[in-house]
A and B are shown apart, each in its own frame.
Chain A
Amino acid sequence: MSGASLAITGFVVMLALMALRLPIGLAMLVVGSAGYIQLNGLEPFLNYIRTTPYQIFANYTLSVIPLFVLMGAFAERSGLAGDLFKAASAFVGHRRGGLGMAMIGACTGFGAICGSSVATTATFARAALPQLRSYRYDPGFACGVTAVGGTLGILIPPSVILVVYAISTEQNIAKLFQAALIPGLMAATFYCITIWIMSRLDGTLAPAHERLPWRARWPLLIGVIPALTVAVIVVGGIYGGVFTPTEGASVGAFIMLLIGLFRRTLGLSEIKQAILQTAETSAMIFAILLGAEVFNAFLALTQVPTAAAEMIAASGWAPYTVLVGLLLFYIVLGGVMDELAMILLTLPVFFPIVTALDFGMPTDDIAIWFGILVLVVVGIGMTCPPIGLNVFVVASLARDVPVTRIYRGVLPFVAADVVRLAICVAFPALSLYLVRLLN
């Protein structure tokens, strides 16, 4: 069998196995191993598997993942989310839709100390969603705002998804974090505008809170200081090159632990729960990374990724047509597949294709820009039906609200996301401006 047909067979068999409930990382591991053996023989494979599983995990950059997950797990239990929400709602809660906007604002702040969207969603479903509902917000809308706000966990740096992108495409994490900031803040702004429009269209959707006197508002800002400080140290330190992402994540996890101990929100049992949650989340990511490594080694042997890139570059298709096609494919695939697995599975083929296209900018810039576009698409996939992970997280914590109703609440925000994606595609400078400014 030729390399190309073997690669295609591999993809088809793997997708079929995945549809039959084979865990995604394992599917890539099994099919990748079979393909490797077919092409190179058993002996080289046994040698390969002797060193790879250790080497892939003994990777300095990879340590960023469990450390950021740990930082988020501590942040989730620190009580900082509630303080952020209280401060934000004191300033805008008395407007129609204001509590929803406060949720988005607080998620933006929390996103800067937490790199995971599931953790952010779960935190705010506990810390803020009950308040929205007690002010008679429409349940579907309130849950929708929570699910969408949760995506800010990854859209605002630090971001575990961007770390995974950086590792699998060998890009610079610090630059990706820089590039994500403006599109991330745009997301928060777009969500607030969406809430504003929706609450104008339907007055019952998001009623106003009573107005707080200014004297009562200012003291609440003190509650914002700890989160802000951590964000400035960690993200600022990584932006400024003061430390590596691993060091930033270590510092972040460490300070978050200290804050929790100091505020007495982290006792021994909370620390234990935070570690176990980190273990489970990180292991899930690691299992997929291991499978992806083996599958990619097989794909590289077939030489399909480079051939595909050359073919598309020579096809005469407009670069933007190819890019938009790939992004649409991601949106569709994100509907049935876990986003993390989706990008690890497709990047080995898509990344060389995109970086070989002529967008009139250096390859390094394309790589960063594409990373941000992938991040936007992943954000959409986290909330979009039929499988939106964040929606399921909210539904598991607000059991009286049916999932279909949450999806209805999410839809206006998905529209806002699609508009934002189009803007980010049309104006690469939104992603690249900060990178150029800071380097």
Chain B
Amino acid sequence: MTDRAGERPPSRIDAVAEAVALSGGVLLIAVATMVVVSVTLRSDLVGKAGVPGDFELVQMATAVAAFCFLPLCQLRRGNIFVDTFTLKLPQRWRDGIDALWDVVYGLAMALIAWRLGVGARSALASGENTMVLQLPSYMPIALCAVLAGFVSLAAFVSASRLLRQPR
């Protein structure tokens, strides 16, 4: 794994990806706190009902947090790959190959963003709500669509970084 991408001074997209990942983390901590409250309310100490719809909140938050985490992972080149068989190749070749795969990832994520967007629109059109809390289902899906678009952008940026690397 190369950490050379980490050596360049962080640019604006790095800062945005970090902020997005941090928001995902804060969301995760908020949901964990909500679950702790729910478990405490439900316990024998208090003996009340838990937070209504805690199940749904966990699900939505996990999906949104997952998409919040993906751009940072891409920019930090955290995705796992096998480098055993390409160690002998010159660095330039390896960077070229990695840039190509970044483009593939960018395209795949763009496809996913598009399809999630379509999914969100049909959920909006049908007025679908969650079971317990009656929250509109399209909202988290739309958020994930936007975030998937950002993952795609991050992948294209990291591809161009690999290609424009000074040697």
Q: A residues touching B (Cβ–Cβ < 8 Å)?
A: 18-26, 29-30, 33, 46, 49-51, 53-54, 57-60, 62-63, 66-67, 70, 243, 246-247, 249-251, 253-254, 257, 272, 275-276, 278-284, 286-288, 336-338, 340-341, 386-387
Q: How far is the CA of A247 from the CA of B33 in the complex (A)?
A: 10
User: Would B61 and A63 count as touching, CB distance under 8 A?
Assistant: yes
Given A60-B55, A63-B62: A20 in contact with B141 (beta carbons within 8 A)? no
User: Would B80 and A23 count as touching, CB distance under 8 A?
Assistant: yes
User: Would A25 and B79 count as touching, CB distance under 8 A?
Assistant: yes
User: Would A58 and B60 count as touching, CB distance under 8 A?
Assistant: yes
User: Would A243 and B73 count as touching, CB distance under 8 A?
Assistant: no
User: Would B116 and A283 count as touching, CB distance under 8 A?
Assistant: no
User: Would A276 and B18 count as touching, CB distance under 8 A?
Assistant: yes
Q: How far is the CA of A338 from the CA of B62 in the complex (A)?
A: 24
Q: How far is the CA of A338 from the CA of B82 in the complex (A)?
A: 8
Q: Which residues of B contact A30 (CB under 8 A)?
A: 104, 108
Given A21-B98, A250-B36: A57 in contact with B84 (beta carbons within 8 A)? no
Instruction: Beyond the given A24-B81, A25-B80, A275-B21, please list 5 additional residue pairs across the A-B interface where CB-CB is below 8 A.
Output: A57-B66, A58-B62, A63-B58, A251-B35, A280-B21
Q: Which residues of B contact A33 (CB under 8 A)?
A: 108
User: Would A21 and B81 count as touching, CB distance under 8 A?
Assistant: yes
- Report the minimum CB–CB distance from A290 to chain B (whole Å): 9
Q: Which residues of A contact B29 (CB under 8 A)?
A: 70, 253-254, 257, 275
Q: Which residues of A contact B83 (CB under 8 A)?
A: 21
B residues contacting the other copy or chain, number (CB 8 A): 58
User: Would B94 and A57 count as touching, CB distance under 8 A?
Assistant: no
* Residue B165 is within 8 A (CB to CB) of chain A in the complex: no
User: Would B86 and A276 count as touching, CB distance under 8 A?
Assistant: no
Q: How far is the CA of A254 from the CA of B10 in the complex (A)?
A: 31
Docked complex: B80-98 residues within 8 A CB-CB of A: 80-86, 94, 97-98
From A63, A286, A287, A336, B82 is in contact (CB under 8 Å) with A336
User: Would A254 and B36 count as touching, CB distance under 8 A?
Assistant: yes
User: Would B69 and A54 count as touching, CB distance under 8 A?
Assistant: no
User: Would A58 and B115 count as touching, CB distance under 8 A?
Assistant: no
Q: Which residues of A contact B82 (CB under 8 A)?
A: 18-19, 21, 24, 336-338
* B25: nearest chain-A partner, CB-CB: A275
User: Would A59 and B62 count as touching, CB distance under 8 A?
Assistant: yes
Docked complex: B13-61 residues within 8 A CB-CB of A: 18, 21-22, 24-26, 28-29, 31-33, 35-36, 38-39, 55, 58-61
Q: Which residues of A contact B108 (CB under 8 A)?
A: 26, 29-30, 33
* Residue B67 is within 8 A (CB to CB) of chain A in the complex: yes
User: Would B62 and A279 count as touching, CB distance under 8 A?
Assistant: no
Q: Which residues of A contact B86 (CB under 8 A)?
A: 19-21
Q: Which residues of A contact B31 (CB under 8 A)?
A: 63, 250
From B58, B79, B84, B104, A336 is in contact (CB under 8 Å) with B84
Given A70-B29, A250-B31: A57 in contact with B62 (beta carbons within 8 A)? yes
Q: Which residues of A contact B80 (CB under 8 A)?
A: 23-25, 284, 288, 338, 340-341
- Report the minimum CB–CB distance from B90 to chain A (whole Å): 13
User: Would A54 and B111 count as touching, CB distance under 8 A?
Assistant: no
Q: Which residues of B contact A53 (CB under 8 A)?
A: 112, 115-116, 144, 148
* Residue B153 is within 8 A (CB to CB) of chain A in the complex: no
From B32, B72, B116, A280 is in contact (CB under 8 Å) with B72
* A286: nearest chain-B partner, CB-CB: B66
The A interface, classified by DSSP as helix, strand, loop or mixed, is: helix
* Residue B68 is within 8 A (CB to CB) of chain A in the complex: yes
Q: How far is the CA of A370 from the CA of B28 in the complex (A)?
A: 32
Q: Which residues of A contact B84 (CB under 8 A)?
A: 19, 336, 386-387
* Residue B76 is within 8 A (CB to CB) of chain A in the complex: yes
User: Would B63 and A58 count as touching, CB distance under 8 A?
Assistant: yes
- Report the minimum CB–CB distance from A138 to chain B (whole Å): 28
Q: Which residues of A contact B74 (CB under 8 A)?
A: 283
- Report the minimum CB–CB distance from A351 to chain B (whole Å): 22
User: Would A54 and B63 count as touching, CB distance under 8 A?
Assistant: yes
- Report the minimum CB–CB distance from A393 to chain B (whole Å): 12
User: Would B116 and A54 count as touching, CB distance under 8 A?
Assistant: yes
* A284: nearest chain-B partner, CB-CB: B78
> Can you offer 5 A-B residue contacts whose CB atoms are under 8 A?
A18-B81, A21-B98, A23-B80, A54-B141, A247-B38
- Report the minimum CB–CB distance from B51 to chain A (whole Å): 11
Of B58, B70, B72, B82, most A-chain CB atoms within 10 Å: B82
User: Would B67 and A57 count as touching, CB distance under 8 A?
Assistant: yes
- Report the minimum CB–CB distance from B68 to chain A (whole Å): 7
* Residue B135 is within 8 A (CB to CB) of chain A in the complex: no
- Report the minimum CB–CB distance from A395 to chain B (whole Å): 13
Of B36, B38, B80, B119, most A-chain CB atoms within 10 Å: B80
Q: How far is the CA of A118 from the CA of B62 in the complex (A)?
A: 22
Given A30-B108, A54-B116, A58-B59: A66 in contact with B28 (beta carbons within 8 A)? yes
Q: Which residues of A contact B105 (CB under 8 A)?
A: 23, 26
* B28: nearest chain-A partner, CB-CB: A66
Given A50-B119, A254-B32: A70 in contact with B85 (beta carbons within 8 A)? no
User: Would B25 and A283 count as touching, CB distance under 8 A?
Assistant: no
- Report the minimum CB–CB distance from A233 to chain B (whole Å): 11
User: Would A279 and B21 count as touching, CB distance under 8 A?
Assistant: yes
* A281: nearest chain-B partner, CB-CB: B78
From A49, A63, A280, B78 is in contact (CB under 8 Å) with A280
- Report the minimum CB–CB distance from A280 to chain B (whole Å): 4
Q: Which residues of B contact A70 (CB under 8 A)?
A: 25, 28-29, 32
